[in-house]
Amino acid sequence: MAVERKFVQQKLKEFRIRQFVSGQLSRVGLSDIKLQRTPLGDKILVKASRPGLVVGRAGSNIQKLTEALKTEFRLENPQIEIEEVQKIGLDANIIAEMIVNSLERFGSQRFKGVGHKSINEVMSAGALGVEILISGKIPSQRARTWRFYQGYLKKSGDVAISGVNVAYKTAVLKTGAVGVKVSIMPPTTKLPDQILLTEPAAPTMEEVTEPETKAEMEAVVQEAEAAQSESKDAKSENAAKPAKAKQPVKTKQPAKKQPKQQAKKSKPKKAATTKT
């Protein structure tokens, strides 16, 4: 549990630092605050649309912020880096802050113009869809929610969490607090049901120069002559060898039956006797 508590305390500290920095940097178009730990100390990256207001005259605002971080959170050698946001219309935090500043400056009577103007700015930046919700006692004493939307915006699934930029801000008016929610789907969001059709590549034509064709023709002629000479040599070798005479194949003939010769038994002759 000691390791888990350590991680929880670290995340709580990072959350408090973000809240403190965002409270110190008001109306500068603050987009995001990232914390990094380096061997030289803690590094704080601030993304804003007005980096000049964050730095201040001769870096006075940065010096005050670093001293406050050292005393409040006991950070050793905090380094603050500022990065300018390139596309303001695709950042939900900046759009929400602009709406809050307009409501606090002009009141609740011009909230419709502020909402439509913000939507046009977001869509002109190339967003796929945008939705703005303004909730509170506007324009009367009865609280209600006004919805401004345009384009295509995912409401469910993993794309609604990872592919949609959402920001919440609060405007303090005389009639009470007014909540502002801005949801923007940037053009880089990949939808699971999106199919892209690509055109087949056009065939490329290669130009053949004359020297190359001549060299190729000479190579083909040489190969043909070499193949022809090899075939002639093979034929001459075959003609020089004497042909072997074929031996007749002996076939077995059935043996003829010889007639049986009956041997005659010769009787023995009696010897002649003489009387004396």
d(CA 31, CA 230): 81
Q: Is the pLDDT of residue 236 over 90?
A: no
Q: What token pair was written down for 148?
A: 């401004």
Given this model, what pLDDT does residue 212 score? 54
Q: Which of 132, 150, 185 is the last residue of a domain?
A: 185
**One domain, residues 32 and 102:** no
Range of the domain at 45: 2-86
Model confidence, pTM? 0.66
Dihedral over alpha carbons 262, 264, 265, 270 (to 10 degrees): 180
Predicted confidence (pLDDT) at residue 271 exceeds the cutoff of 70: no
pLDDT at residue 153, rounded to an integer: 92
pLDDT higher at 221 or 67: 67
Q: What is the CATH number of the domain that holds 114?
A: 3.30.1140.32
Q: Give yes or no for residue 180 having a pLDDT over 90.
A: yes
User: What is residue 75's DSSP assignment?
Assistant: -
208 confidence band (pLDDT: 50, 70, 90) = low
Query: Does the pLDDT of residue 276 top 60, yes or no?
Result: no
The pLDDT tens digits for 45-65 are: 899 888 888 888 888 888 888
Asked whether residue 201 is domain-assigned, the answer is: no
| Residue 170 covered by a domain | yes
- Taking the alpha carbons at both ends of the chain, their separation in whole angstroms is 161
**Tokens read off for 252:** 């077995």
99 and 178 share a domain? Answer: yes
Q: Is residue 98 domain-shared with residue 81, that is, in the same domain?
A: no
Task: Determine, yes or no, domain membership for 223.
Answer: no
Q: What is the mean pLDDT of residues 91-108?
A: 91
Other beta carbons within 10 Å of 107: 14
pLDDT over 60 (residue 268): no
Q: Which residue, 158, 185, 212, sits at the end of a domain?
A: 185
| Pair (98, 148) in one structural domain | yes
Q: What is the pLDDT of residue 100?
A: 93
On the question of pLDDT at 107 being above 70, the answer is yes
Is the Cβ–Cβ distance between 40 and 76 less than 8 Å? no
- Specify the residue for token string 């006991």: 74
Q: Domains in the chain: how many in total?
A: 2
| Domain-embedded: residue 252 | no
* 22 lies in the same domain as 54: yes
CATH number of the structural domain spanning residue 21: 3.30.300.20
Residue 143 in any domain: the answer is yes
Are residues 100 and 178 located together in one domain of the fold?
Answer: yes
pLDDT at position 231 = 77
Cα–Cα separations (whole angstroms), residue 53 to 25, 28, 57: 9, 6, 8
Q: How confident is the model at residue 147 (pLDDT cuts 50, 70, 90)?
A: very high
Q: Flag whether 123 is in a domain.
A: yes
Instruction: Decide which of 86, 118, 151 is a domain's last residue.
Output: 86
